[in-house]
Chains A and B, each alone.
Chain A
């Protein structure tokens, strides 16, 4: 009997190890290819890769991705706080006021956003924002990115707030805290680590999105702009466009840009891990 249990346990452990490896191998392969190819490009281009303009198709120099890098930062700076604030508000409503009609409307609307294809979001924003504004812009792109990222942010933040044990809500009320004070002083701080994780995933979604930008950003790669009303570019859009060209120099830029995007994720992820401490219950 004991032997059968040991065999079953070993078989299950073996199964878990194999399936975990199968799940990890494609990701590790992708990351290692990006690192190998990207490092090659970055070592050739040097620091100029971050500050130069992209090359022309027949250029001998790799150049840089400065407009796309600046555009990605600008779009993230507009879309991430907007998405996060709306998602936190909706998640608080969903958790603390579940029977309120506003909570139900928000819940249905935000969840339904997840089922809309990103290219459709891009086209809709093109019709409703780009055309009335008279051109592509960072604002239009940020709106499209926010619509795409909202369901992710909302679902994760809602789960984070919902995981705070009910007993802390009771303790807060018993001390005379109002509902909003309880949310601000107790629920959000206890859930901070998972909230930070949710914001990070939202950021990754915003920084990595391509289709949303096709009809909204304008692919401005010939200079640098900080104006939200002007066309912008973004790293994923640059990678997408350059990967489709037949020019080797542009493929190189795409690999280098992919590595830069990966590094931005890693640095943000590690910083959050260090800065936002987990609350031990």
Chain B
């Protein structure tokens, strides 16, 4: 892999789904090992950007993508998506741990598939490490063989976070990870995200300006498939250049 200054670069990217344009000429550069927040109202195309980076957009029928996307120096649109995804972990808006696997197996499978652990001892270490990083270890260490339905919604989302971390990804995509969980668990997840700064690149989608301010290094505000404003968190919050940004930050949009 090439040594790059940016983890992800989108250049003039357009996405059409069923001939309807959902992303319109977006250009984004995500610096390595930072927390980059994509913020915007519902339906503005935030999740589509994450799906582009992970190539999960391939699962949508009748989709057309133009422009260029570089992920860790790889041409994301032309790379093998299965190879690309091994560097890119993802946590979804609704917790989706595999219901037929135990808590242990949910985390272990990520490490196994991606060759992170080669034997049982290594696997045990990785599972523990991932659950600790997701601030879940203390709550589940005595019941690793239980199934995820025994966990609360917030714990399940942290399990998904642990599963993504067990891949040892270079980039972690988070699609509104706290949207469907309680404030206490949301805070824990934010703590985990902040602890990852300087280790991996985190790209997080949120519709909450407060969360963006608490967690992010950089922000891109998008609306209707275009970037309204992009920059460092402080700059966006203290000196917003666009009228739309001001309204969004005030919660008027």
Contacts and interface: CB of A to CB of B under 8 A. Distances in A.
B56 A186 contact: no
Contacts of B88: 174
Given A174-B89, A175-B85, A175-B167, A167 B110 contact: no
A181 B114 CA distance: 13
DSSP majority for the A interface?
Answer: helix
Interface in B66-95: 81-82, 85-86, 88-90, 92, 94
B92 A176 contact: no
A186 B114 CA distance: 16
A176 B54 CA distance: 10
A99 B58 CA distance: 14
A178 interface: yes
A173 B173 CA distance: 13
Contacts of B82: 176-178
A175 B110 contact: yes
B113 A176 contact: yes
A167 B109 CA distance: 17
Nearest to A191: B100
A174 B85 contact: yes
B96 A186 contact: no
A54 B88 CA distance: 68
Contact of B109 (A168, A185, A192): A185
A280 interface: yes
Interface string A174-198: 1111100100011001101000000
Contact of A176 (B85, B98, B99): B85
A178 B83 CA distance: 10
Given A170-B92, A185-B109, A280-B99, A176 B59 contact: no
Interface in A23-66: none
A174 B84 CA distance: 10
A171 B99 contact: no
Contacts of B92: 167, 170-171, 174
Contacts of B248: none
A171 B160 contact: yes
A264 B94 CA distance: 43
A170 B96 contact: yes
Contacts, number: 66
Given A168-B98, A178-B82, A280-B99, A173 B59 contact: yes
Interface in B153-175: 160, 163-164, 167
Interface string A145-185: 00000000000000000000101111111111110010001
A280 B85 contact: no
B96 A171 contact: yes
Contacts of B85: 173-176
Contacts of A177: 82, 113
A281 interface: yes
Contacts of B97: 171
**By CB atoms of chain B within 10 A, which of A165, A173, A175, A177 has the most?**
A175
A175 B82 CA distance: 9
B149 interface: yes
Contacts of B149: 280-281
A176 B86 CA distance: 5
A189 B163 contact: no
Interface in A210-246: none
Residue among B86, B96, B113, B164 facing the most chain A CB atoms (10 A cut-off): B96
A176 B170 CA distance: 13
Given A171-B92, A175-B164, A176-B85, 17 more contacts: A165-B96, A167-B92, A170-B92, A170-B96, A171-B96, A171-B97, A173-B59, A174-B85, A174-B90, A174-B164, A175-B113, A175-B163, A176-B86, A190-B98, A190-B100, A280-B149, A281-B99
24 contacts: A99-B61, A167-B96, A168-B96, A168-B98, A168-B99, A170-B59, A170-B92, A171-B96, A171-B98, A171-B160, A172-B98, A173-B81, A174-B90, A174-B92, A175-B89, A175-B113, A176-B86, A176-B114, A177-B113, A185-B109, A186-B98, A186-B100, A189-B100, A280-B147
- 5 residue pairs, one from A and one from B, having the closest CB atoms: A174-B90, A280-B149, A167-B96, A176-B86, A189-B100
